[in-house]
Structure 1
């Protein structure tokens, strides 16, 4: 549902108050081009349309985990690309959900790759302050006007801001300073199991090979100082389920039975719990899978140096507040927590499901138990090897009956800080006086490894100004009209992508 009636669209209102201090300052390339005034004016004039673009996109959720509206999501993504001026747009079939491939060729000297995802995480409307698909615009104290909805920051808001940049360039009568290759998928939230099928199609691979690198739009400015972190990589991930069942085990019930039978019947739920306890140390904080650390590459001296610098630039109090925690593991010093975040592979339980989970009690002995898991991987681990180690670990301990059902995953990613991509990001941030921290790798995951590894072999990372939070959680939001002088709103975010493209075009 659109709420454009609540948005002030005249320029004076948009730039009033704290937001005025956060006005976008262009990089040298954009300023020197002479294109800035016209593009900025077009971005401001297109504000209401940009907001509606985000709201309409949120209203159509594609949820890979539920196989919900995947074809519709791809078609919608293709329509958005065409509307933004991409000349060649195609839906790309895979063995799973379709992707989208698009190119914008303006005859420029350089090409830039852009990664989008059109899928979002699941949601429970009962947990939200407003319906998660209505994309309501609300006043958020300390932030300004925000859009609240599933996918608002992960990733539809930042992606729509990038598209708004292309609309502004076109509306201003200008052309993009670089050619663009857009690669979209609909299965990121389940570990991108078929994304490599898209990227390695010969004509798509050939297009990517021309690019300077690949970015995923992001809205991660810190509300305390407006700072951003430039990650030189990301952890890999494996998403999977461990399933214990009476049917596979040959013991316990094949379906739920009365709990009084526990006096004489084995429990698949307890068997799963016993298996899970072997995967980590007793405190649950360190993986204990046999040989799990065999290929882990220690932090390099440069990575340790970057982490030490990050420890001085980033706020421990802000991090704890954002996470809603009072302690880190073992009450470690701040810098040590940053080292663990960058260097430690993990074994995490996302959810445990067995038997009856509704109101009150129901005296059953479940015939099946499921643990939803994710493994985070660091260089030089691989998804394939990590799953093999998990399987061997369980088998060695007599848990051969426990199923390991992998839904998706990919390897860690790394990008050289001296690449043209990273230098362009840093230059754009610096000229906007945005505090910047360089960090070895994002503790979260995105399928950048598909780009950084062979056969594509390109630099890849995140970029963007603006702010949002609540990814995967209730009340996810994206700031569109900032009251915080440190954080860009939607127009500033839009202009940051324009500036970045000009920076890539001019970078040496």
Structure 2
């Protein structure tokens, strides 16, 4: 007969040890209670799946497009109704000098507070470019992903935002309360550079509520299809959107309206004027800003940021990145790690679009009287929006392009969040528990108005969070996964539960 202890004896001994070690019994009980609550909430989320899907579809059916001033009041009203339905109280529509915002609070008497950033606006779309009507939010089977909702705003941001709302519905349906109090701040101008968002955040009642919070999250659905991985970003680049306009009227040369192209033999061209101005802004290959003094405030990558990028290069797949972007080579044929360093550290001057004269079918022999370039800048620490625009203005003036107008439509500064903040630590802990490989990364190469939260007077950590997957933001056939056929990627219910888990983690974190 063996002298080895039985499994029952081992378990009894472990239980006794737990009772004898201070704090272990309480921790075990807390973990058990949390697991029971999560199981009940997940069951409610599964039961509410159809309602959650319909919530996304109905939201997609109402597009609020700030760039077209389309349905902005309707969008704010709809957002307010969604917030109230999810349990937020004292929900109010906040006027600004542009589109209105929405604010609400869900105070359950918890010890800690978490803020949530939403946007209700979406990008423009051309239905002719889509495989299904962009507002119908059809459910289709997407090979390699499962069932997805296709529609404008599906992943940017209505799908992930609706998943967070579904978490609140599931918590209530399970007879529970959120483990943290919540503050919701929403705008309708994110897609045009958030020109009036600060007016919302600095209203006394909104600012007072935000000051109670541990941090701010923006819902996300960016899991990698290859390994289910996610990035925890310690910031984001800033952005500025503007138009450069050359016209015969402002220049005093060339036509004031379109004229016959035969006149080019004796009349100046505003279109060529604009092209010449544009070529001064960047190096000949178009890859590096050449504006006078543009790099003087750029902060180089720190040793820690380089270390994080090196680790990210080992965990992230270059082939997946190129496939997702539809590119074969990086600038200067850079190796993977150097390409990631450039992505995080390089400020950019990008041409979004060029418009002049006739662009329809066939030819139309005109000499245009006006030419427009739509430009966006991406800014890194310690650059600012105002300084970048001022430098471009001075650069053009110095070269005799005083007549070329700069019409800024929106933008904001870069954002940074401390690695040791409770928000970042909670995100990493949640992802680890949920089995999602997480890569800590210096900054998102894209932009969101997080600087409104991370800078004074709010001064909170802020960043993206969430499981799930979608793609096609700003592009045709945008989608969000609701039933995943990929075991590495969560569907709607899994994404919903990730927000529940984060709330519990923030509530319990040291």
Residue 65 (structure 1) shift: 0.4
- Asked if 1:147 is matched to 2:182, the reply is no
Which of 1 and 2 has greater Rg? 2
Partner of 2:14: none
Contact 1:112 1:214 in 2 (8 A): yes
Partner of 1:326: 328
Question: Of residues 313, 316, 319 in structure 2, which corresponds to 1:314?
Answer: 316
- Rounded Cα–Cα distance in structure 2 between residues aligned with 1:187 and 1:97: 7
Residue 435 (structure 1) shift: 1.0
Residue 402 (structure 1) shift: 0.6
- Rounded Cα–Cα distance in structure 1 between residues aligned with 2:30 and 2:366: 68
Partner of 1:13: none
- Rounded Cα–Cα distance in structure 2 between residues aligned with 1:321 and 1:223: 12
TM-score by length of 2: 0.94
Partner of 1:112: 114
Question: Of residues 438, 441, 444 in structure 1, which corresponds to 2:443?
Answer: 441
- Rounded Cα–Cα distance in structure 2 between residues aligned with 1:42 and 1:470: 30
Instruction: Classify the secondary structure of the residue corresponding to 2:115.
Output: strand
- Rounded Cα–Cα distance in structure 2 between residues aligned with 1:334 and 1:469: 22
Partner of 1:98: 100
Partner of 1:192: 194
- Rounded Cα–Cα distance in structure 1 between residues aligned with 2:435 and 2:298: 36
Question: Of residues 468, 474, 478 in structure 2, which corresponds to 1:476?
Answer: 478
Partner of 1:6: none
- Asked if 1:32 is matched to 2:43, the reply is no
Instruction: Classify the secondary structure of the residue corresponding to 1:35.
Output: helix
Partner of 1:486: 488
- Rounded Cα–Cα distance in structure 2 between residues aligned with 1:312 and 1:32: 37
Residue 486 (structure 1) shift: 0.2
After superposition, the CA RMSD in angstroms is 1.0
- Asked if 1:49 is matched to 2:51, the reply is yes
In structure 2, the gaps of 5 or more residues are 1-27
Question: Equivalences for 1:254-265 in 2 at 5 Å?
Answer: 254-265=256-267
Q: Which consecutive segments of 4 or more residues in structure 1 shift more than 4 A?
A: 27-31
Question: Of residues 151, 162, 168 in structure 2, which corresponds to 1:160?
Answer: 162
Instruction: Classify the secondary structure of the residue corresponding to 1:73.
Output: helix
Partner of 2:11: none
Partner of 1:173: 175
Question: Of residues 298, 301, 313 in structure 2, which corresponds to 1:299?
Answer: 301
Residue 430 (structure 1) shift: 0.5
Residue 38 (structure 1) shift: 1.5
Question: Equivalences for 1:447-458 in 2 at 5 Å?
Answer: 447-458=449-460
Residue 28 (structure 1) shift: 10
- Rounded Cα–Cα distance in structure 2 between residues aligned with 1:262 and 1:431: 67
Partner of 1:389: 391
Partner of 1:8: none
1:473-503 Cα offsets, whole Å, 9 max, x none, are: 0000000000000000000000000111011
1:442-497 Cα offsets, whole Å, 9 max, x none, are: 00000000000000000000000000000000000000000000000000000000
- Rounded Cα–Cα distance in structure 2 between residues aligned with 1:386 and 1:64: 24
Contact 1:30 1:502 in 2 (8 A): no
- Rounded Cα–Cα distance in structure 1 between residues aligned with 2:104 and 2:362: 52
Residue 32 (structure 1) shift: 3.3
- Rounded Cα–Cα distance in structure 2 between residues aligned with 1:342 and 1:96: 31
- Rounded Cα–Cα distance in structure 1 between residues aligned with 2:257 and 2:381: 42
Question: Of residues 414, 426, 429 in structure 2, which corresponds to 1:427?
Answer: 429
Contact 1:30 1:499 in 2 (8 A): no
Contact 1:29 1:502 in 2 (8 A): no
- Rounded Cα–Cα distance in structure 2 between residues aligned with 1:170 and 1:120: 29
Instruction: Classify the secondary structure of the residue corresponding to 2:176.
Output: coil
1:311-346 Cα offsets, whole Å, 9 max, x none, are: 111111000000000010010010000000000000
Instruction: Classify the secondary structure of the residue corresponding to 1:373.
Output: strand
1:242-288 Cα offsets, whole Å, 9 max, x none, are: 00000110100000000000000000000000000000000000000
In structure 1, the gaps of 5 or more residues are 1-26
- Rounded Cα–Cα distance in structure 2 between residues aligned with 1:87 and 1:502: 21
- Rounded Cα–Cα distance in structure 2 between residues aligned with 1:333 and 1:481: 36
Residue 31 (structure 1) shift: 5.3
- Rounded Cα–Cα distance in structure 1 between residues aligned with 2:29 and 2:201: 33
Describe the shift of the 1:446–1:255 C-alpha distance in structure 2 as closer, same or farther (beyond 3 A).
same
Q: Report the count of equivalent residues.
A: 482
- Rounded Cα–Cα distance in structure 1 between residues aligned with 2:243 and 2:228: 38
Instruction: Classify the secondary structure of the residue corresponding to 1:479.
Output: strand
- Rounded Cα–Cα distance in structure 2 between residues aligned with 1:103 and 1:350: 38
Contact 1:245 1:268 in 2 (8 A): yes
Partner of 2:371: 369
- Rounded Cα–Cα distance in structure 1 between residues aligned with 2:38 and 2:110: 18
Residue 29 (structure 1) shift: 6.8
- Rounded Cα–Cα distance in structure 1 between residues aligned with 2:145 and 2:48: 21
Contact 1:30 1:36 in 2 (8 A): no
Residue 37 (structure 1) shift: 2.1
Partner of 1:7: none
Contact 1:112 1:178 in 2 (8 A): yes
Describe the shift of the 1:484–1:463 C-alpha distance in structure 2 as closer, same or farther (beyond 3 A).
same
Question: Equivalences for 1:193-212 in 2 at 5 Å?
Answer: 193-212=195-214
